[in-house]
Structure 1
Amino acid sequence: MTLVLRNVRPWGGDPADVTLDGGAITAVVPAAQPGAAAPDGDTELGAGVVDGRGRILLPSFSDVHVHLDSTRLGLPFRPHSGSPGVWNMMLNDRNNWRDAEASITERATHTLGAMIKRGTTRVRSYAQVDADAGLERFEAVLAARETHRSRADVAVIAFPQAGLLREAGSTEVLEEALKLGADVVGGIDPCALDRDPVKHLDIVFGLAEEYRKPVDIHLHEPGQLGLFSIELILERTRALGMQGLVTVSHAFALADLPDGKLDGLLAEMAELDVSVATVAPATPLPLERVTAAGIRVGLGEDGQRDYWSPYGNADMLDRTWQLAFTNRFRADELIEHCVAVATIGGASVIDPAATRLSSTADRPGLAVGEPAELVLVEGDTVAAAVMDRLPGRTVIHRGNVVADGLQLV
């Protein structure tokens, strides 16, 4: 069905009428006068027409780093009980996740729905596979994806949260998830967690090569340790010809490397088209420099009020505010750039063939021919929409309205 968005402001600009057909944007023209006929003959309030009410039209959000398999959104709040450190946090999650008030399938499905309601239609979610969980959490994320298959596109990462070398059977369950249709091979802290980076990365990249899947490595390692791991990742990316198929998530090392080291590393990452996913941590990624280097970068919400952290509320507009805040951005252009990272930037992390950001001033995603993955938000300007994060949103996936006013359609 052709859908016309009447009186919307693409990226906060002049009012326009935007026509969608076949899952893509097919026309963008100056807004018609109230009561005028839409291109398909419907009136402003007729079928196939959305009254934009002067709201801002943006590309929909792309959450490229979320753990749907550990969420507690929608359940009673519980005090945080984890201890510092990735291994300790993992053990805390392991000791508690089966005892929640709802099943992991119900929780993952609820949280994915909440994300869609708030404007996210492109998702890359982790699903923990290890000696304890087996495929249970992976299958829960697949079930959530199936429930919302007409509302969002979800890629699932088979993720060895407990590492690959510390527990017998870890590699086998990771491979089994790939056989069952996982979209991405995950890895984590090859030095700090598994303490054998060569073996860990050989397993991850070996499986990626065998099953022809992209790679996403959780890298919490700081400074020189993180630099060493990234260099090993780049070495394998080059050797296997996996340009455009590797993502480094968190990449905390980029925040504390000296300029000389950082510039060279960013240049090599750009050359090999290795992307970055950030969750807007307290010590932020050097976002402007990453963008200027030509690196694809996207945003994610990480855990959603789970056994790792009480933070997270399924709202990527909130996380966009956090990205701007932690980077100490005040200028409208840089706040808008955070929106671009959270939308088109993330889409290009998921699909390296998608439109990419060319600079902090680039505002793509709303031209004729672009996918009809869109969200309408309230606000005087894009920066104001980030500051206020109002509820009046309409969410469009593949040219169809899938949520309105924070309710699924």
Structure 2
Amino acid sequence: MSGAVLVAGARPWGGPAVDVRLIDGAIAEILPSGSTPRPGETVVEGRDRILLPSFADVHVHLDSTRIGLPFRPHTGAPGVWSMMLNDRANWRTAEATIAERTTETLGRMIARGTTSARSYAQVDVDAGLERLHGVLAAKETHAERATVEVIAFPQAGLLREEGSFELLEEAMRQGADVVGGIDPCQLDRDPAKHLDLVFGLAERFDAPIDIHLHEPDQLARFSAELIVERTRALGMTGRVTVSHGYGLGELPREQLVPLLEQFAELDIAWATIAPAKPLPTLLLAEHGIRLGLGEDGQRDYWTPYGNADMLDRTWQLAFTNGFRRDEDIEHCMAVATVGGRSVLGTAPALRGRLDRPGLAVGDPADLQLIAGETVTSAIMDRLPDRTVLFRGAVVADGLDLVGAA
């Protein structure tokens, strides 16, 4: 994708209109609006829309999606283990294969502005590696439209069922990018052994780590402290992400702040899905902790929510935090775009809640044009008039993919 592109008449982060030249997949020049295109240059009409970095969904379960299939009433019982068993009882009877479902949903995500994603692929004694292969198929199909990292994810834990760890290890051999973990205390009930297996595998494959943490307050704190210990001892600074972690947000400030200081010291990132009990989003920004946003499951056997649209999830992040001021709502957009890229290691951390990066010369030309008077109004209205670029080429327009996969 090396051809020159001129994005004409767009408003970076809702500011004054400019023209933006893209060359070799990066922003090459910021020019006055109305600049003359070069011979042979492709022009993308901004039409006074807002220019933003594209979304990075850093917590999505593509392997469980039912997006595009007939609606199915939610049947899961409360609790991670019960929900997992409900998924096991139903995922094979879907109206489409795993590869078809993951590919369809990833395509819808791209059409709505997501060009970077980190997806889980459930690896356990029930699914084997079938779900991993489905996510890898979607990644390959859309390789010219989005960058996807795949997490080998032990949804059922590593210690409850014989053979679980061996499958996780094989998943890393077969193309997974990230080693997953889950609820070391509450699910496997042997946090030291669980985390030793996860960190040991990551060390062997030179891979980052992403750990689901659904545990409540003090239990989450204990697990987080063990994660901190291993991150420090194994030199894994900058390579560990805690997903969810909403129990940590329930800790009293005198317990939470020292933990956040250690997260900042070791550059432990955080991924949220904007839950009903929100994380202390602005406090994380104050401590310089990398925070990204994701959609989690999407209309699957776990939840009826989710629609492949990160602009909706950005609204949810602002809403659940109770934000009303424009700068705080815009910070949610920064988290959903460049914040997610920072979790993936492809962008630096946001420098506080007023940082609006990603549109300077030299930045990747992974961009989106969205309609709206301001960034806040665009988040509130979530209009369909959007154009999505990946590596400087248009890959979606008007919520439809452009070009052959």
Q: For the superposition of Structure 1 and Structure 2, which TM-score range results when normalised by the shorter chain?
A: over 0.9
Give CA-to-partner distance per residue, 1:108-141, whole Å, 9 cap, x none.
0000000000000000000000000000000000
1:221 equivalent among 195, 215, 222: 215
Match of 1:171 among 142, 165, 170: 165
Residue in structure 2 matching 1:364, options 357, 366, 377: 357
The answer on whether the counterparts of 1:186 and 1:217 sit within 8 Å (CA) in structure 2 is yes
CA distance in 1, matches of 2:396, 2:253: 44
Match of 1:22 in 2: 24
Cα distance in 2 between the residues matched to 1:253 and 1:85: 14
Match of 1:382 in 2: 375
Q: How does 1:9-408 map to 2 (within 5 A)?
A: 9-32=11-34, 37-38=36-37, 40-41=38-39, 48-351=42-345, 354-408=347-401
Q: CA RMSD in A?
A: 0.7
Q: Describe the superposition over 1:365-407 as per-residue Cα deviations: whole angstroms up to 9, x where unpaired.
A: 0000000110000000000000000000000001110001111
Per-residue deviation at 1:222? 1.3
How far apart are the structure 2 equivalents of 1:7 and 1:69? 39
DSSP-derived class of the 2:138 partner: helix
Aligned residue in 2 for 1:3: 5
Deviation per CA, 1:91-124: give whole Å up to 9, x if none: 0000000000111110000000000000000000
Match of 1:185, SS state, is strand
Provide TM-score, normalisation by structure 1. 0.97
Whether contact under 8 Å (1:280, 1:319) holds in the other structure is: yes
Task: Give deviations 1:236-287, integer Å, cap 9, x for gaps.
Answer: 0000000000000001122110111111000000000000000000000000
Where 1:192 maps in the other structure, the secondary structure is coil
Which amino acid is the alignment partner of residue 384 of structure 1? Answer: S
Aligned residues between the structures: 400
1:218 Cα deviation from its structure 2 partner: 0.2
| Distance in 2 separating the partners of 1:222 and 1:374 | 37
Q: What's the secondary structure of 1:356's corresponding residue?
A: coil
- Could you tell me how far 1:30 is from its partner in structure 2? 1.9
Name the SS of the counterpart of 1:53 in structure 2: coil
**1:356 Cα deviation from its structure 2 partner:** 2.1
8 Å CA contact 2:288, 2:349 repeated in 1:
no
The CA distance in 2 between the partners of 1:302 and 1:28, in whole Å, is 35
Post-superposition Cα deviations, 1:39-84, rounded to whole Å, max 9, x if no partner, equal x136xxxx60001100000000000000000000000001100000
Deviation, 1:179, is: 0.6
Cα distance in 2 for residues equivalent to 1:290 and 1:157 = 24
Between 67-76 and 250-259, report the one with greater CA deviation. 250-259
**Aligned AA for 1:398?**
R
CA contact (8 A) 2:289 2:349 kept: no
Partner amino acid, structure 1, of 2:106: L
Return the alpha-carbon distance in structure 2 between the equivalents of residues 15 and 179 of structure 1. Answer: 48
Q: Distance in 2 between matches of 1:230 and 1:262?
A: 11
User: Alignment identity in percent?
Assistant: 67
Equivalent position amino acid for 1:198 in 2: A
Asked if structure 2 preserves the Cα contact closer than 8 Å seen for 1:159 and 1:174, the reply is yes
- Aligned partners of 1:61, 1:215: CA distance in 2, in Å? 21
**CA distance in structure 1 between the aligned counterparts of 2:278 and 2:137, rounded to whole angstroms:** 33
Structure 2 residue runs without a partner (length 5+): none
TM-score of the pair, normalised by structure 2: 0.98
- Measure, in 2, the Cα distance between the counterparts of 1:151 and 1:313: 19
Q: CA deviation at 1:158?
A: 0.2
> Could you tell me which amino acid in structure 1 is paired with residue 236 of structure 2?
M
Answer yes or no: is the 8 Å Cα contact 1:355–1:364 preserved in 2: no
Contact 2:216 2:247 in 1 (8 A): yes
Q: 1:355 and 1:272 mapped to 2: Cα distance?
A: 15
